[in-house]
Homo-oligomer: A and B are copies of this chain.
Amino acid sequence: MSTESEPPKVQEEVDSSSQSISKKAAKKEAAKKAKEERRKEAEAAASAASALSIEEEGPLANNYGDVPLQELQSVNDPQTGKWSEAVSGREWTEVGALNGSLKDQEVLIRGRVHTTRPVGNKLAFVVVRERVSTVQCLATVKPDSVSKEMVRFVRSLSNESIVDVIGVVSVPDVEIKGATQQVEVQIKKLYCVSRAAKTPITIEDASRSEAEIEKASKEGVQLPRVNQDTRLNNRVIDIRTLANQGIFRIQSQVGNIFRQFLLSENFVEIHTPKLIAGSSEGGSAVFRLDYKGQSACLAQSPQLHKQMSICGDFGRVFETGPVFRAEDSYTHRHLCEFTGLDVEMEIKKHYSEVMDIVDCLFVTIFDSLNNVCKKELEAVAKQYPFEPLKYKPKTLRLTFEEGVQMLKDAGVEIDPLGDLNTESERKLGQLVLEKYGTEFYILHRYPLAVRPFYTMPCHDNSLYSNSFDVFIREDVIYLRGVNKSGYVTGMNSLPIVEGEEIISGAQRIHIPEFLAERAQACGIDVKTISTYIDSFRYGAPPHGGFGVGLERVVMLFCGLNNIRKTSLYPRDPLRIAP
């Protein structure tokens, strides 16, 4: 126990007892008393624990009840409780694994009370939910196992409580509409592991699709719609919906395939610091803090450090980690903190080597999601319907000039050396879909002027650059946000975003003198980025890379309308909790 939590009176007693007690003795005495206190506290905790247990009376009382805390603390020692005895030697079966092949077998399942429905005094239905699966369970009075009191107990269970059910699997003749599993469990024993208080939002309301609400509305019924903020305020309940269970398992799979693919291509995973030295030049999009008396900020991308790692002979590197943006953006696709998937690699001959990685990487991710996450994608689509992403085994690549020409042919005139705005990006996406039948493509050879200063110009025309953007569903995958003028955050940091994010991958300039020259030409004080430029002085291989926002990939693949749906605990300018 640290000194902070010692009861002050202990100290006082020692102080007043005698002047002859040395400081050391006083300290010893205090420690002894503190130890006594500690013992008392722990004993109080133990008695509180047993006070929470609930005992029921009745002849078949052993078959149901609330599990006392003491049993949940350990079931391995000599079994003293009815739950401990009931589950002893048994394995839990996952609700999702319940099917006809288990007919007439006794199973033990754990899940939440999704709904309960009483039928008269002697019967109660309870739908038990575990992650994305639900099963209908049935408690009916039977002289040898189920008492009237037990049925009453089952009916009294609050939704979202967690229960252990032991019962026999049966296969009804008719389809079960209210559950995913097409079997029933005839309850023999049921114990409540955790009681739920009344939830501020219900899973039923939070799981409803827009279509259901509209359909009911046409029939004159107003069903509740849970808005985004209410969901996020009650995230611990909201993420229990089937759609959310699906979304975050899909997100986990994207991260997994991202890494597995890159590891198989000889990339090394690195972890770069998020705390970066730097002061006030960085513009408004930087979170600043005091670092032991030095001014510091949170990294807006691992750009500097991943390039340093290439100069440090790692050859090919990747990182998945948080990226911080203090922008005042209140759109459906901006977050103040998101998960960046970043890649940097040596180039032997041409920046198309980087596009080759992007191409294979994303096709592998998409293929894998469609194969491995079928159930999860269905769960998402049930609440938020979407068409599967159209993409090709070999990703379409267009040059920026070709894109401009396609727009021109369709009557859209844009600055051939400017950037695409959201509107022309969308239009181009439509044209590409019509002409090539894909919603996923790469646009490369962007005008140099719209890319950050460290982008390598093209060899044949320095108005263009060895860079690319990746488009998905007429939108752009959130990547590195880099503004055109190349804002910098200080000595150890790099150009950052202000304004509209763009995707960007590119070959970087690896020659320090040329880099300094380009920085200067873009109006950047070279002194503020000396660490960055110096990294290239001791031999730097030609290299390039790209970055992607994990939440954005999941959002666009699933055709969702808000980035907050794919961030577990999102952060935006108005939200820093929970």
Q: A2-B483, A69-B514, A449-B38 known; A162 and B541 CB under 8 Å?
A: yes
CA of A520 to CA of B134 in the docked complex: distance in angstroms?
38
Is the beta-carbon distance between A538 and B236 smaller than 8 angstroms? yes
How many copies of this chain? 2
* A100 CB–B CB distance under 8 Å: no
User: Among A46, A328, A539, which residue has the most Cβ atoms of chain B within 10 A?
Assistant: A539
* A412 CB–B CB distance under 8 Å: no
Is the beta-carbon distance between B291 and A287 smaller than 8 angstroms? yes
Using CB atoms, name the residue of chain B closest to A532: B578
Interface string of A285-327 (1 = CB under 8 A from B): 0011111101010100000110011011111000011101010
Among A167-175, A209-217, A247-255, the stretch in contact with B? A247-255
A270: chain B residues at CB < 8 Å are 248, 252, 568
CA of A417 to CA of B35 in the docked complex: distance in angstroms?
8
* A149 CB–B CB distance under 8 Å: no
Interface string of A529-559 (1 = CB under 8 A from B): 0010001011111100000001000000000
CA of A313 to CA of B255 in the docked complex: distance in angstroms?
20
Is the beta-carbon distance between B110 and A35 smaller than 8 angstroms? no
A residues 55-69 in Cβ contact with B at 8 Å = 69
* A237 CB–B CB distance under 8 Å: yes
* A42 CB–B CB distance under 8 Å: yes
* A45 CB–B CB distance under 8 Å: yes
A residues 379-397 in Cβ contact with B at 8 Å = none
* A87 CB–B CB distance under 8 Å: yes
> How many residues of A sit at the interface, in one of the four size bands?
35 or more
* A131 CB–B CB distance under 8 Å: yes
| Chain A residues in the interface with B (C-beta under 8 A) | 1-2, 4-5, 35, 38-39, 41-46, 48-49, 52, 69-77, 87, 92, 110, 112, 130-131, 160-162, 193-197, 199, 235-240, 244-245, 248-249, 251-252, 255-256, 259, 263, 268-277, 287-292, 294, 296, 298, 304-305, 308-309, 311-315, 320-322, 324, 326, 328, 336-337, 339, 348-352, 415, 417-418, 448-450, 456-463, 466, 483-485, 487, 491-492, 498-499, 507, 510-511, 513-514, 517-518, 521-523, 531, 535, 537-542, 550, 567-571, 573-574, 576-578
Q: List 20 A-B contacts (CB under 8 A).
A: A5-B485, A41-B449, A41-B522, A42-B448, A42-B463, A48-B513, A49-B462, A77-B459, A112-B539, A131-B313, A193-B541, A240-B313, A271-B322, A273-B322, A275-B287, A275-B571, A287-B290, A292-B326, A294-B576, A320-B320
8 more A-B residue pairs beyond the given contacts A271-B339, A294-B576, with a C-beta to C-beta distance below 8 A: A1-B485, A38-B417, A49-B457, A110-B348, A110-B541, A194-B511, A236-B535, A251-B269
